[in-house]
Amino acid sequence: MDWALNLERIVLSLLRPMEDVLPLSVAPTMPFVAHDFGQTFSKSSDALRRIRADIVAGKLQPGQKLSFKFLVTCYDMGTSPLREALCQLAGQGMVELESQRGFRVAPVSRADLEDVIAMRAHAEIYAAGLSITRGNDAWRRNLGDASLAFTLVAAKAGDQRPIDERWEEIHRRFHFALIGACGSPTLLQFCKQISHRYDRYRRIAIPVQAVMAGPAQDHREITQAALSGNSKQAQSLLRRHIDDMAGVVLERYHRGAWMPKD
Amino acid sequence: MDWALNLERIVLSLLRPMEDVLPLSVAPTMPFVAHDFGQTFSKSSDALRRIRADIVAGKLQPGQKLSFKFLVTCYDMGTSPLREALCQLAGQGMVELESQRGFRVAPVSRADLEDVIAMRAHAEIYAAGLSITRGNDAWRRNLGDASLAFTLVAAKAGDQRPIDERWEEIHRRFHFALIGACGSPTLLQFCKQISHRYDRYRRIAIPVQAVMAGPAQDHREITQAALSGNSKQAQSLLRRHIDDMAGVVLERYHRGAWMPKD
DNA sequence: TGGCAGCGCAATTTCGAAAATCCATCGCTG
DNA sequence: CAGCGATGGATTTTCGAAATTGCGCTGCCA
């Protein structure tokens, strides 16, 4: 295996944003970046990405009122693109819309967390099964790269660095590389949306990288099973991986339940 | 069983719109209706409902360009609420948004149809299983009512009346009564969205009620299995029901594939 | 003192116009 | 004559202000 070439491909793939899912950044997307990758960005889509990222990162807290006065000064744009973004986020369950009374960040609750965990597990495991059955060589290569990339950034035990956007992106890339060949755009979109909701819980419950050291090993095992076409084993490993993480998140949620903020 | 009281309850339940899913009407929702049922409506939500209904009914054809000039005159409102509605519909896969190039009705294709069918079947059957396990008496009563209501409006064989909004609403009400106790808001919302997409295909493929006479019997059998708590049997009946219908839709689609319109 | 109607402020929602972008056409150049 | 860049019109996108709605306060009345 040509190590240098391999690394280069991985690095390049990390630089390229994963269409509309990954760019989690608070800074506005640069126009030239958008154009370079064949996708035009508007203020609306920027608003969508930035607000979602800030919700997932916990900068906008669960239950927080999102007044337009506040948003206009925060994100430096008119109400129209903001409203558009909030509407889409409402459809994804990231914000709540009460007619004539504005928007607020979707509150957190044990019931919602359990719902999110159950749906994410079911959808992602199902998609993984399809993907492993249907995946071709390009998919296998991409999965290998994503897994390796995650290994490279994975924390050592005891690492107290906070989880940041880069870590999130690489982590997310692995999970979507795994299910990317499932063949169903609808299922993929559902997985994207539910994972954003899940990530918010995980991100608030597990702010530092230390706890996420174990998953690197999980990812490698899942990758191995997936690449060898053993979909049953990959699915059960994935289920264990998701359950383990969900257990930690649930337990932490139960202890220090986050309060809505007004 | 008190027949008159039963009928009255069913009729009443039919008059009440099923929150945001059912009101499929081209006329704007009356304000007093909105207030009466504890939900305020805005022009945006009206636009959402009306446009979605028109897409499902085929009045807005697959692939059709949705220019604001056209929409503003059609729906008699400004661009803001229309834009908001279109954004949400884009998130639900009913319209496509190409940045800076406007909106168009989501095109139809065999691949999309197969995706929609597969996802609808998987999600709805899964939800039905959960619902039957978790449902309480209120759920059973509601399911019985919905099934009976559908029986009452179901067509006799050879009925050439076109499928209208009322038929759609009662049909939809049955399917959601079945899965209503699944316990997962997220899963329910997914089922709602995917069913709208599926309904569009079915509605264009099967414009008259005649073909939909068989399903009434299916519904009764499914209800019976569900009410007796036999989730496995209900699921397999539901699967057969969905597969049968999907087969007809697919076959008709294949014969007379609808062309995009500009 | 408790309750309710009316009033005024603040916030959302909607509109109409300005700005930015795209597309087709035309003219120029090699 | 083909290819490329500029120009004009049409459309989308965004903004700022008007209109509408909700909410809290005050004052009146029982």
Determine the residue of chain B that is closest to A127 in CA distance: B119
User: Residues of A with CB below 8 A from B115's CB?
Assistant: 183-187
Q: Which residues of chain A form CATH 1.10.10.10?
A: 19-105
A13 residue type, one letter:
S
Cβ atoms A42, B99 nearer than 8 A: yes
User: Which of A82, A130, A190 would you mutate first to test chain B, the one with the most B CBs within 10 A?
Assistant: A190
Q: Which residues of chain B form CATH 1.20.120.530?
A: 110-255
Residue closest to B24 by CA, chosen among B149, B225, B168:
B168
Q: pLDDT 10s digit of each residue in chain B, 262 long?
A: 556 666 655 555 555 555 443 333 333 333 333 333 334 578 999 999 999 999 999 999 999 999 999 999 999 999 999 999 999 999 999 999 999 999 999 999 999 999 999 999 999 999 999 999 999 999 999 999 999 999 888 766 667 888 888 889 999 999 999 999 999 999 999 999 999 999 999 998 987 877 777 788 899 999 999 999 999 999 999 999 999 999 999 999 888 766 554 4
Alpha-carbon distance B178 to A128, whole Å? 28
pLDDT of residue B206: 87
Give A187's contacts (C-beta < 8 A, 6+ positions apart): A123, A126, A127, A130, A179, B115, B119
- Nearest residue (Cα to C1') for C21? B100
Beta carbons within 10 angstroms of residue B138's beta carbon: 10
- The DSSP secondary-structure symbol of B98 reads -
Question: What is the mean pLDDT for each group of 10 consecutive residues in chain A (262 residues)?
Answer: 58 52 37 38 92 96 96 96 97 96 96 98 98 97 95 76 88 97 98 97 86 83 97 97 94 74 48
Cβ atoms A88, B88 nearer than 8 A: yes
User: Residues of B with CB below 8 A from A92's CB?
Assistant: 91
Give B228's contacts (C-beta < 8 A, 6+ positions apart): none
Alpha-carbon distance A33 to A52, whole Å? 20
B91–A92 C-beta distance less than 8 A: yes
Cβ atoms A83, A43 nearer than 8 A: no
pLDDT of residue B34: 33
pLDDT of residue B254: 83
Cβ atoms A212, A206 nearer than 8 A: yes
Strand partners, A95: A105
Yes or no: domain B8-105 corresponds to CATH 1.10.1280.10: no
Mind telling me how many Å the CA of B88 is from chain A's nearest CA?
A: 6
Q: Report the CATH superfamily, name and number, of domain A110-255.
A: GntR ligand-binding domain-like (1.20.120.530)
B241 residue type, one letter:
H
Determine the residue of chain A that is closest to B46 in CA distance: A99
Q: Which two tokens stand for residue A192?
A: 């994207």
B93 residue type, one letter:
G
Using a pLDDT cut of 70, give the percent of chain A over it.
81
Yes or no: domain A19-105 corresponds to CATH 1.10.3720.10: no
- DSSP E strands in B28-145: the ranges are 65-66, 95-97, 103-105
Beta carbons within 10 angstroms of residue A6's beta carbon: 14
Q: Which two tokens stand for residue B176?
A: 């959601």
pLDDT of residue A74: 96
Residue closest to A168 by CA, chosen among A48, A56, A247:
A56
* Vertex A68 angle, CA A62 and A74, to 5°: 75
- B interface with A, Cβ–Cβ below 8 Å: 39-42, 44-45, 80, 83-84, 87-88, 90-93, 99-100, 112, 115-116, 118-119, 122, 126, 183-187, 189-190, 194
Q: Which residues of chain B form CATH 1.10.10.10?
A: 8-105
Alpha-carbon distance B168 to B57, whole Å? 10
Strand partners, A208: A162
Chain D: positions less than 7 Å from a protein CB are 11-17, 21-23
Strand D and B133 CB separated by under 7 Å: no
pLDDT of residue B22: 33
How long is the CA A69 to C1' C11 vector, in angstroms?
Answer: 9
Cβ atoms A118, A143 nearer than 8 A: no
Cβ atoms B226, B128 nearer than 8 A: yes
